[in-house]
Amino acid sequence: MSKLTDSETSRLHPETLALSYGFDPFLSEGAVKPPVFLTSTFAFHKAAEGKQFFAWAHGEGGPRSKYNMGLIYSRLNNPNLEIFEDRIALWEGMKDAYSFSSGMAAISTTLLATHRPGDEMIICAPVYGGTDGFAHHFLKEFGIIAHFIRAGVDAPAQAEKLINPRTRSIFVESPANPNNRLTDIGALKALALRHAPAPASGSSRILVIVDNTMAGPVFAHPAKVGADIVLYSATKFIGGHSDVVAGVALANDPAILSAIANHRAMLGGMPNPYTAWLLTRSLETLKIRAEKAQANAIKVADFLVAHPKVRKVNYLGLLKAGDPEHAIYLKQQSGPGSLISFYIRGGEKEAFAFLDSLKLFRLAVSLGSTESLAQHPAAMTHSGLTPEDKARGEITDDLIRLSIGIEHPDDLIWDLDQALAQV
């Protein structure tokens, strides 16, 4: 076989390149799939080569790319990590990616790499409970202050009132977890540019950081509408089988990428080679899984909207022209995805009765996997939020979040119907 040229590669789709990009079979005995490089350290051809690789690793010895640095030690680099990072960067259309041992490792390392004591953040809530806790407690102890605003159409206007010379970033999940609220990323970017510090001031520009876990990389590409950094819990849609815990941070700016890489090396939050291998495997079916789950979710949402025991359904596929967030949806999403949250008539008692009566849905946290999951955000994933943050995110005792999987949709609807009958 012959190799693709750069121009040929550029015309191919991510789902095609996910099966081959970044791996030469003939560097691994002709293996069609990448082997698992279960090694902690790598041999150098010559001592001078080791010296050069370490100089590059320390940021010395002149400019170098991520790949000509050479392999040193699996805390710094490993073929399995690099293959996965190449391929996930393709999905986003971004320059590069760094993988992590969890989504929280990606989030925390990225925020520590891009913020300093005295900096301030603006966070569009709700966000994942771990992110909320990290901002409220850990970052606060290091002198980094987070201001929380409500995600949605008016988030840019709220954010503008809080921007000051210490503002370093605007952090958003869009769609938000768990209420599927959409925030205009492009408007946040325009806001950040309007308030950019003067070049001579020495201050850093305001970064727009987007956690795209809820949408996944098939139906939304935040960098294309203004995000400077895109984050994922790769445990979710990217891994997609509930058998791996991992995270990803992506960026285009070389300085940001270098900062994230250096902090990952220092803090030690990279995944092990086998985890990276599993993620690479899962990318091959990402689009197929995501599209099937989305098709199921559309049918499930239609069922829930019509059910008398359901008060309200939050699902992007239900947005219509004239709805406040519909225009944002058209700009930022190519599909509604497979995450649904809904408010049951009643409260925690009725929500728990419903959850305990499910037979096919697993009563478990997480999302984006092949199996369908159901959980109670107020008592589970978002239980650590302050009452104010819960109210801001509309996370009430009657809220249930569903992650729709790839089962037959009729079976999922049957299960929901019989469980609602027990309420």
What mean pLDDT do residues 336-355 have? Answer: 98
Distance CA 82, CA 66 (A): 9
Count other Cβ atoms within 10 Å, centred on residue 277. Answer: 24
Q: Is residue 8 part of a domain?
A: no
What mean pLDDT do residues 398-403 have? Answer: 98
Q: By the 8 A CB rule, do 203 and 118 touch?
A: no
Q: Is it the case that residue 66 has pLDDT exceeding 70?
A: no
Torsion, Cα of 400, 405, 411, 414 (10° steps): 10
Q: Is residue 94 part of a domain?
A: yes
Closest by alpha carbon to 231, among 208, 256, 210? 210
Domain match, 148 and 178 both: yes
Of 235, 260, 283, the last residue of a domain is: 283
Q: Is residue 45 part of a domain?
A: no
Q: What is the pLDDT of residue 62?
A: 63
Number of residues written out for the chain: 423
Q: Is residue 32 part of a domain?
A: no
Domain match, 367 and 265 both: no
How much of the chain exceeds pLDDT 70, in percent? 95
Q: Is residue 278 part of a domain?
A: yes
Q: Is residue 122 part of a domain?
A: yes
Of 228, 254, 283, the last residue of a domain is: 283
Domain match, 275 and 299 both: no
Domain match, 271 and 133 both: yes
- The CATH number that applies at residue 158 is 3.40.640.10
H helices of 63-175, where? 79-92, 103-114, 129-133, 139-141, 155-162
4: exposed, middle or buried (Cβ count in 10 Å: 0-12, 13-18, 19+): middle
For residue 323, give the amino acid letter: D
Of 283, 314, 333, the last residue of a domain is: 283
Q: What is the pLDDT of residue 24?
A: 76
How much of the chain exceeds pLDDT 90, in percent? 79
Domain match, 415 and 329 both: yes
Closest by alpha carbon to 341, among 351, 356, 326? 351
Domain match, 205 and 332 both: no
Per-residue pLDDT of 100-152, as tens digits, reads: 999 999 999 999 999 999 999 999 999 999 999 999 999 999 999 999 999 99
Residue 376's DSSP bridge partners are none
Domain match, 120 and 215 both: yes
pLDDT bin (cut points 50, 70, 90) of residue 181 is very high
Per-residue pLDDT of 7-63, as tens digits, reads: 877 777 877 776 777 767 767 667 777 889 999 998 989 999 888 888 877 777 665
Q: What is the pLDDT of residue 63?
A: 56
Q: Is residue 223 part of a domain?
A: yes
pLDDT bin (cut points 50, 70, 90) of residue 400 is very high
Per-residue pLDDT of 283-332, as tens digits, reads: 999 999 999 999 999 999 999 999 999 999 999 999 999 999 999 999 99
172: exposed, middle or buried (Cβ count in 10 Å: 0-12, 13-18, 19+): buried
Return the DSSP state at 235.
I
Domain match, 154 and 174 both: yes
Q: What is the pLDDT of residue 202?
A: 62
**Got the DSSP string for 123-149?**
EEE---HHHHHIIIIIHHHTT-EEEEE
Domain match, 275 and 300 both: no
Q: Prior bond to 175 cis, omega within 30?
A: yes
pLDDT bin (cut points 50, 70, 90) of residue 1 is low
Domain match, 295 and 397 both: yes
Q: How many domains is the chain built from? A: 2
Distance CA 287, CA 15 (A): 7
Domain match, 298 and 399 both: yes
Range of the domain at 391: 287-420
Lowest mean pLDDT among 24-33, 259-268, 364-373: 24-33
H helices of 195-243, where? 216-219
What mean pLDDT do residues 215-242 have? Answer: 97
Mean pLDDT of the chain: 92
Q: Is it the case that residue 413 has pLDDT exceeding 60?
A: yes
Helices and strands, number each (H, E), in the chain = 17, 12
Q: pTM, whole model, 2 decimals?
A: 0.92
- The CATH number that applies at residue 309 is 3.90.1150.10
Residue predicted with more confidence, 16 or 156: 156
Domain match, 154 and 182 both: yes
Q: What is the pLDDT of residue 3?
A: 77
pLDDT bin (cut points 50, 70, 90) of residue 198 is low
Beta strand 120-125 with 145-150: parallel, antiparallel or unpaired? parallel
